[in-house]
Structure 1
């Protein structure tokens, strides 16, 4: 029974890390939708956008550490796995958000695509991994 309890706690810790990243990505997406018009470029550069999402993810990670200074996942192996798994799940979630926006006839942003959502979440996960302890 103790193993089941530990497994449930670990899954809840992973869910907390995932939700934290999704909340930050959603806030960035909302902010970008609100502020995109003044910053539109005639020809968007995907490299510039990728670096921008990397920086935004790192900033999001730093802010999240100020709010939640301890890691949700306490095991070392779990924290390492989180750095890889959560960005993949976050990227897939952003694809789902993008598809939802597209079905509603709204314009998609780059973060609504897997790669940009993944890059944002990876930067956030790496910052949280390096600045928090289990």
Structure 2
């Protein structure tokens, strides 16, 4: 049972860590591009970036951290949790007067995490 908790927490932390690293990268790249892009194109971009990050994560962690039927539960729950965390991070940034990027909103954070999780779901051993 304790192994299961570590596996679930490990998978969640992996996705959160990658999401935060990508978010930090987007903040550093956002400065030259003040004009916001089309939201549909941005959603597509976050989906592609999530798929790329999921593929890269397979090199670091080739086997799925959660086994059996929990893989499906993880596929549904983890992106929602990550989306909520990104929304909270965006709220925190706006309270501090910092610029809020699209990934700091639930929908874009969720799309990134879902595409990340789908790649891991399909291709992790």
TM range (shorter): over 0.9
Distance in 2 (CA, whole Å) between partners of 1:32 and 1:59 is: 15
Q: 2:39 matched to 1:46?
A: yes
Q: 2:9 matched to 1:15?
A: yes
Distance in 1 (CA, whole Å) between partners of 2:8 and 2:104 is: 22
Match of 1:107 in 2: 99
Q: CA deviation at 1:39?
A: 3.4
Q: CA deviation at 1:11?
A: 2.0
Q: 2:28 matched to 1:64?
A: no
Q: 2:32 matched to 1:29?
A: no
Match of 1:73 in 2: 66
Q: Please report the TM-score for the alignment, with normalisation by the length of structure 2.
A: 0.94
Q: CA deviation at 1:96?
A: 1.1
Bigger Cα displacement from structure 2, 81-90 vs 95-104 = 95-104
Q: Which runs of 5+ in 2 are unaligned?
A: none
Q: 2:81 matched to 1:89?
A: yes
3-state SS of 2:32 partner? helix
Q: Which runs of 5+ in 1 are unaligned?
A: 1-5
3-state SS of 2:20 partner? helix
Match of 2:90 in 1: 98
How many residues were matched structurally? 125
